[in-house]
Structure 1
Amino acid sequence: MSTDNYIVHVVDDEEAVRKSLAFLLTMSGLAVKMHESAAAFLAAAPGIPPGVLVTDLRMPDMNGVELLSALRDAGAMMPAIVVTGHADVPMAVAAMKAGALDFIEKPYSDEVLIAAIQRAAAEIETASPAGEDTAAILGKIAQLSDRERQVLSAVVTGLPNKTIAYNLDISPRTVEVHRANVMAKMQARSLPELVRMVMAVEAPAK
């Protein structure tokens, strides 16, 4: 999608971060609008034309996941990227379930953010989420062993490796091996991508 056809909305409670992102995105040829709080953006969202949202996760008035949920409830959802310095599996899962297309952990490179915004912008023009179709994802899941499916199910639920190991009565190291195999067989480059795949086919791994 042409950069002239959408605005990148940045929601972050830290002024220095907003200014830094505004400079980066503007120099990359993107139109940008800053919002100092989730509440301020939420109030304006219903009247905002199609755009891309880049929101911080941890903010004092309302966190990024809560913002996405509120936007969805208000019928004002837009392609969104959640950025945080405190990434963990449960929060990544929560962000994906709330509608985020990407979950990016600080520090990140400029290229990673710009690429995420470009992918999000492509969503504006499509009626359905980008990515593989259900059959392709199910085909990859079918290649997993029973144990790998158990690990997949636990990972996308947000459980840490130690808890998965305890629940399955295996060692944390074995969980790591299974997890790596799952990522490879599913051809997922990141946890958010893996979560999106599973969400796309609802709950295939039990």
Structure 2
Amino acid sequence: MESIIHLITFEDDSTKVQLKAVLSSLAANVKTYSNEQAFLKYYFSSTKGAHKECIIINTKSSAAPSIALIKELNKLKNIIPIIIISGDSSIESCRNAFKSGAFEYLTRPLNVNELLNIVSESFLHYESEVEQFRTYISLKDKFGKLSNREKEVMEMILEGNTSKEAAEKLSLSPRTVEVHRSNMYTKLKIRSLPQLVQEYDFFKKYDLRAN
């Protein structure tokens, strides 16, 4: 799988050529962008998960433009790791960057080996994020196939209710609850309650994080 590094430089930075040369040592395709719009044009047209990717936002001074772009990408449910290189070494900027979702925040003078190690780590992180995202989409599709009544029965089961208890609370017969439970297991392609708990917990946690 091809590795792509997106290098975004908001300011006229003489280090851009040097950075590209350094990053190319990772056998990665380094794409450069001079502004947010140029990168977003690529972002909207690309197929997520087709490559290992990371984003490096390079600014001479203030980290504000970098953080603003991260927030913009967050609205798009971005999962590509974002590394900020900035001349702003203040604790506040660093804290704001991580709070916004930055993968790493580096300040000048830049340690080249540290940068290369972090980029390599970001590729591994991205692969993990892609796998989790695909699992989430698959589970979202599965849970979306359940009828409202099947969802009610599922929630009762997940709360620890027996079929009899669920039947009483839903004003149904135990037999009807068992039928809904069987249909639910079939639609979700699960074989046991522990599997249901594991998949549902993953789905809800990821859904909460994504939204």
* TM-score category (smaller protein): 0.5 to 0.7
Residues 57 and 97 (structure 1), Cα distance of their counterparts in 2 relative to 1, 3 Å cut: farther
Separation (CA, whole Å) in 2 of partners of 1:77 and 1:66: 16
CA RMSD of aligned residues (A): 2.3
Note the 1:107-126 alignment, pairs <5 A. Answer: 107-126=109-128
Counterpart of 2:37, as a letter, is A
Please say which structure displays the higher CA radius of gyration. Answer: 2
Instruction: Determine the structure 2 residue equivalent to 1:5.
Output: 2
Separation (CA, whole Å) in 2 of partners of 1:58 and 1:19: 14
1:105 aligns with 2:104: no
Note the 1:27-176 alignment, pairs <5 A. Answer: 27-48=25-46, 49-50=48-49, 51-57=53-59, 63-127=65-129
Question: After superposition, what is the alpha-carbon deviation per residue over 1:123-165, rounded to whole angstroms, capped at 9, x for unaligned?
Answer: 111139xxxxxxxxxxxxxxxxxxxxxxxxxxxxxxxxxxxxx
Counterpart of 1:33, as a letter, is K
TM-score when normalising by structure 2: 0.53
**CA deviation after TM superposition for structure 1 residue 31, in Å:** 1.6
TM-score when normalising by structure 1: 0.54
Separation (CA, whole Å) in 1 of partners of 2:122 and 2:35: 21
State the aligned residue count. Answer: 124
Between the aligned residues of both structures, percent identity stands at 17
Residues 59 and 72 (structure 1), Cα distance of their counterparts in 2 relative to 1, 3 Å cut: farther
Runs of 4+ in 1 over 3 A off after TM superposition: 57-60
Q: What stretches of structure 1 of length at least 5 have no aligned partner? A: 129-206
Residues 57 and 18 (structure 1), Cα distance of their counterparts in 2 relative to 1, 3 Å cut: closer
Partner SS, residue 15 of structure 2: helix
